[in-house]
């Protein structure tokens, strides 16, 4: 599903001394089936923006059109249907676990979608496996006796089990160990490639963004600074730093190697790409 | 020869910690045979995957929980000794992951004053301590602001100032940058390094970001409740495969050096920083 954000403005506490404009006239389209990363410093408007995408926040002006449907103008029943297809993983999703067992918690979403018991069961098994947990080991456990990292995985499994057409993740891996982070992100990427769903990933890790996404949305003070490919965005080092961001370490390295190897490419943001480019210039 | 001038800040003596379960057979052994010490002024990084025992260890250091076997000494005080509880917590302060959960007051300077107030420090001295702590984290200009108006990195620096105002000798940072944007991470790491370098503060830094501990004095690697490696960053991070095996990672530059070596490029295997990589490639 495509997500069209149309002249979206959001003002918190309008008309009070605390009035704060979090989003200013945002106007972009996230194409169906794309994998988009959102970066921006704390308070730049990222979370406010994504909370509009499934109708959790109502815009002050402007609107969001998902799959051709204006989510703030349509009927309430349409919005409910739409929400079933838009999965949102919040920061610290483990705080939203509530069921007695891991199985029941993950089954909650697909059950509400009205799937048959057999379908729900299949989704639960699949998504628990997807997040790297052992189904038989965890299914009957209380989510609250798991470690923090495992709880996070269960919470993400609960959203994946709904197989959302649009999957929005707000810093899903903050606090996870490197393997947990890589595994979960790899599974999300695999699911994206297989199901061609739209994925929107908010992250503070430039390395993860550089590895995963097709397009990057850069936000600053409620406005869009860039909406372009990683090649274009991560070469704007100066602007990114000015707004509190950074580029992957390997990208900085390439910039510094330019003195010695003037022909070296700077649009490099993964270790793999850096290795190949260094080998190219060294071996000539 | 043992250096007599070095003061032992933390002494963890062959400890075990078990999380009890209603059914005894399901007791979880979180730490087993963990034995190490940290000297005054050291900067020690602790890494390990989720569930490896890092957070359990930090709680033991702060006398929030107590070892089921062995002892933990903080500046010579045994954490099991109830009468030292508040001295221990004042000696070894803690900074946690989420800044929003650590700030209690509605004005920045009141938040920083909370700790010393509870310690019964006289008002005039509290004033001095708060000013000094805010200066150290470079947040004096925000003394009268509301914490919720600050960025994540600024909030974390206020949390650090709140600990500094209690004049600890050691600070345990439990993933203090996990929630921060790149500039917030830079600010907080710069603050931590400055405390260690300029104030001789003993720092224990628990993190999942390997790049944050490339200039630590020492790194301790935990896996399944045991110490599996211990040494300088150069020594630890060159074990690229062993670290990945236990769910960890190495700094990007170390990984790049490892990949280039595999391709036959003659380059050191203990490169940690961008500067070292540039130097190695531009010889």
Residues of A in contact with B175 (CB under 8 A): 175
A282 and B265 within 8 Å at the Cβ level: the answer is yes
B282 and A259 within 8 Å at the Cβ level: the answer is yes
Q: What is the pLDDT of residue B1?
A: 46
Tens of pLDDT, residues B84-130:
999 999 999 999 988 888 888 999 999 999 999 999 999 999 999 99
What CA–CA distance (Å, rounded) separates B281 from A112?
57
Residues of A in contact with B277 (CB under 8 A): 253
Residues of A in contact with B248 (CB under 8 A): 177-179
pLDDT at residue B22 greater than cutoff 50: yes
Q: What is the pLDDT of residue B50?
A: 83
Angle between helices B274-281 and B252-262 (to 10 degrees): 30
Pick from A250, A272, A278: CB nearest B281: A278
What CA–CA distance (Å, rounded) separates B180 from A91?
12
Nearest chain A residue to B223 by CA distance is A177
What CA–CA distance (Å, rounded) separates A266 from A270?
11
Q: Does B248 touch chain A (CB under 8 A)?
A: yes
Probe site for chain B from A41, A234, A270 (most B CB atoms < 10 A)? A41
- For residue B16, give how far its alpha carbon lies from the nearest alpha carbon of chain A (Å): 18
| CB pairs A-B closer than 8 Å | 117
Complete domains list, chain B, with CATH: 43-63+82-236 (3.40.50.300), 251-283 (no CATH)
In the stretch 119-148 of chain B, residues with CB closer than 8 A to chain A read: none
pLDDT along chain A (284 residues), means of 10: 95 90 95 96 91 92 92 82 88 88 96 95 94 93 86 92 94 87 90 94 93 96 96 94 94 94 93 96 87
- For residue A225, give how far its alpha carbon lies from the nearest alpha carbon of chain B (Å): 16
Average pLDDT over residues B40-56: 93
Read out DSSP for B38-53? EETT-EEEEE--TTSS
In the stretch 129-158 of chain A, residues with CB closer than 8 A to chain B read: 147-150
In the stretch 86-105 of chain B, residues with CB closer than 8 A to chain A read: 97-98
Backbone phi and psi for residue B112, each to the nearest 5 degrees, phi listed first: -65, -30
Cα B21 to chain centroid, rounded: 29
Cα A200 to Cα A49, A163, B8: the distances in Å are 11, 14, 49
- The ipTM of this complex is 0.84
What CA–CA distance (Å, rounded) separates B151 from B184?
8
pLDDT at residue B51 greater than cutoff 90: no
Mean pLDDT of all residues in chain B?
A: 93
Longest dimension (CA), chain B: 65
Nearest chain B residue to A174 by CA distance is B178
Pick from B181, B182, B277: CB nearest A253: B277
Instruction: List A69's β-bridge partners, or say none.
Output: A66
Q: What is the pLDDT of residue B161?
A: 96
Tens of pLDDT, residues B214-265:
999 999 999 999 999 999 999 999 999 999 999 999 999 999 999 999 999 9
Centre a 10 Å sphere on the Cβ of residue A195 and count the other Cβ atoms it contains.
14
Q: Is residue B147 classed as helix, strand or coil in its secondary structure?
A: helix
> pLDDT tier at B24 (50, 70, 90 boundaries)?
confident
What CA–CA distance (Å, rounded) separates B102 from A255?
39
Q: What is the pLDDT of residue A17?
A: 87
> pLDDT tier at B5 (50, 70, 90 boundaries)?
low
Average pLDDT over residues B14-41: 91
Q: Is residue B183 classed as helix, strand or coil in its secondary structure?
A: helix
A175 and B208 within 8 Å at the Cβ level: the answer is yes
């Amino acid at each position: 599903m495509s997500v069209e954000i149309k002249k979206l403005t959001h003002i918190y506490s309008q008309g009070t001394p605390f009035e704060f404009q979090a989003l200013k006239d945002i106007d972009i389209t996230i194409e169906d089936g794309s994998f988009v990363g959102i970066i921006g410093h704390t308070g730049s408007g990222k979370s406010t923006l994504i909370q509009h995408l499934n109708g959790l926040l109502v815009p002050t002006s402007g609107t969001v059109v998902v799959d051709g449907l204006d989510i703030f103008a349509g009927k309430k029943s349409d919005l409910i249907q739409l929400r079933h297809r838009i999965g949102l993983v919040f920061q610290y999703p483990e705080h939203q676990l509530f069921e007695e067992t891991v199985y029941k918690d993950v089954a909650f979403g697909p059950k509400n979608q009205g799937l048959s018991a057999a379908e729900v069961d299949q989704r639960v098994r699949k998504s628990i496996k997807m997040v790297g947990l052992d189904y038989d080991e965890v299914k009957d456990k209380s989510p609250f006796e798991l470690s923090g990292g495992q709880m996070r995985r269960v919470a993400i499994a609960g959203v994946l089990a709904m197989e959302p057409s649009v999957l929005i993740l707000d810093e899903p891996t903050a606090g996870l160990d490197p393997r947990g982070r890589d595994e979960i992100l790899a599974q999300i990427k695999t699911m994206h490639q297989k199901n061609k769903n739209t994925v929107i990933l908010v992250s503070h890790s430039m390395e993860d963004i550089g590895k995963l996404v097709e397009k990057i949305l850069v936000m600053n003070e409620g406005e869009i600074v860039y909406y372009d490919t990683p090649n274009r965005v991560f070469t704007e080092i100066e602007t990114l730093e000015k707004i509190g961001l950074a580029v992957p370490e390997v990208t900085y390295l390439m910039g510094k190697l330019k003195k010695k190897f003037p022909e070296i490419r700077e649009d490099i943001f993964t270790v793999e790409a850096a290795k190949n480019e260094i080998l190219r210039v060294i071996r000539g | 020869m043992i250096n007599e001038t070095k003061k032992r800040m933390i002494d963890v003596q062959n400890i075990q910690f078990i999380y009890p379960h209603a059914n005894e057979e399901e007791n979880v052994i979180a730490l087993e045979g963990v034995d190490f010490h940290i000297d005054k002024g050291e900067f020690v990084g602790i890494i390990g995957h989720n569930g490896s025992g890092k957070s359990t260890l930090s709680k033991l250091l702060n006398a929030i929980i107590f070892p089921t076997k062995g002892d933990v000494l903080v500046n010579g005080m045994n954490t099991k000794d109830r009468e030292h509880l508040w001295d221990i917590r004042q000696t070894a302060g803690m900074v946690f992951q989420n800044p929003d959960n650590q700030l209690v007051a509605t004005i920045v300077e009141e938040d920083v004053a909370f700790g010393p107030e509870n310690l019964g420090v006289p008002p005039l001295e509290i004033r001095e301590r708060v000013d000094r702590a805010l200066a150290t984290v470079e947040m004096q200009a925000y003394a009268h602001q509301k914490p919720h108006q600050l960025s994540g990195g600024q909030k974390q620096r206020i949390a650090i100032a709140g600990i500094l105002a209690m004049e600890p000798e050691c600070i345990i940072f439990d993933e203090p940058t996990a929630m921060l944007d790149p500039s917030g991470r830079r600010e907080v790491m710069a603050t931590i390094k400055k405390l260690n370098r300029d104030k001789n503060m003993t720092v224990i830094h628990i993190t999942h970001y390997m790049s944050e501990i490339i200039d630590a004095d020492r790194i301790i690697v935990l896996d399944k409740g045991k110490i599996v490696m211990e040494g300088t960053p150069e020594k630890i991070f060159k074990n690229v495969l062993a670290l990945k095996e236990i769910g960890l990672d190495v700094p990007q530059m170390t990984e790049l050096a490892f990949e280039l070596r595999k391709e036959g490029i003659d380059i050191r295997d203990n490169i940690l920083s961008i500067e070292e990589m540039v130097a190695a490639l531009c010889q």
